[in-house]
Amino acid sequence: MTTQPPLVLGIETSCDETGVALYGERGLLADALYSQIDMHAEYGGVVPELASRDHVRKLIPLIKQCFANASVTSRELSGVAYTSGPGLVGALFAGASVARSLAYAWDIPSIGVHHMEGHLLAPMLETTPPSFPFVALLVSGGHTQLIKVNQIGDYQLLGESLDDAAGEAFDKTAKLLNLGYPGGPALAACAKNGNPERFNFPRPMTNRPGLDFSFSGLKTFALTTSQQHALDEQTCADIARAFEDAVADTLAIKCKRALTQTGLSTLVVAGGVSANQRLRKTLDQMAKEISAKVFYPRHEFCTDNGAMIAYAGYQRLLAGEFDELSIKARPRWPLSALNTPQTK
């Protein structure tokens, strides 16, 4: 009797993107993503109730799409992984209830995955993944964290944002410049036309020891600068460029410090802000100076997606972990609370 190769369905619904994917022994077989950006753009930000309802509408069609694209059926599944937190509680429950119901109906285990662990492991989906141990810079939504990663589940928090995360600062600065939603990509696009010499923004908390971040003051500096000048198209671009440079430099300085303190030479950068090209250029230059290597997920796996959840769930289900029958959603869930899976 042959043993069926493990295959995991991953479901991501932490905020405003509905992601579904299938990951197994042969790698990523299929992934599908629906973004709610157009719906939330009308309001200038995510409306939690609308996000939850849209996840409910889109999940089953996306799951069917993944099965069709991978030419597999539910009978071939070994488990269902879903984002259990952190995130918007209603959105989390939408994905968790579907995942748990399907797992129960199919008589297979399910497991709630930590959203940030999914981001952290996203570079593992690439052809040339990083090797443990490494330092990870997680820059996703409301999170900016530096973490020492010894292995899956063994995470040591080195530093984090004490107020606004980098992504939040991007969004708020874009809003004050009337650049539209989502703010991060809009500000990056505007910054391409900016003069890097016109404004000089501070690099917060880089002149003191430690690996924590603070971006609220940088956001305020951008507001003050905008109030002191007529906001024509060029001035907006110049402010956006100065802000983007300051964030990239600050993150690079702290990453270099983290690599030096840990004695490691591998940096993993993940989360939505990791798609920013100026940040990548700055980090690549920093790494070159100290003979370190930087790994990023491919562009479509920087933002929220089902592939990263399927991969993280696959690793934990492979180690024998699974949920009880109760449905759990954790709007707040520190990454340090995760355990290291004992691989069989």
Is 336 annotated as contributing to ligand binding? no
DSSP 161: B
Strands (E), 36-96: 79-85
Is 7 annotated as contributing to ligand binding? no
Rounded to 10°, the helix 216-227/233-262 angle is 160
Is 245 annotated as contributing to ligand binding? no
Query: Alpha-carbon distance 81 to 8, whole Å?
Result: 7
Is 276 annotated as contributing to ligand binding? yes
DSSP 211: S
The answer to whether the CB of 201 falls within 8 A of the CB of 222 is yes
Is 171 annotated as contributing to ligand binding? yes
How far are the Cα atoms of 43, 68, 247 from residue 170, in angstroms, in the given order?
17, 38, 9
Is 273 annotated as contributing to ligand binding? no
Instruction: Evaluate the CA torsion angle 215, 153, 283, 182 in order and state its sign.
Output: negative
Residue with tokens 């906001």: 231
Tell which residue, 117, 124, 156, has the closest CA to residue 138: 117
Is 164 annotated as contributing to ligand binding? no
Query: Alpha-carbon distance 169 to 273, whole Å?
Result: 11
Is 139 annotated as contributing to ligand binding? yes
Is 119 annotated as contributing to ligand binding? yes
Residue list for the binding site for Fe cation: 115, 119, 304
Residue list for the binding site for substrate: 138-142, 171, 184, 276
Residue list for the binding site: 115, 119, 138-142, 171, 184, 276, 304
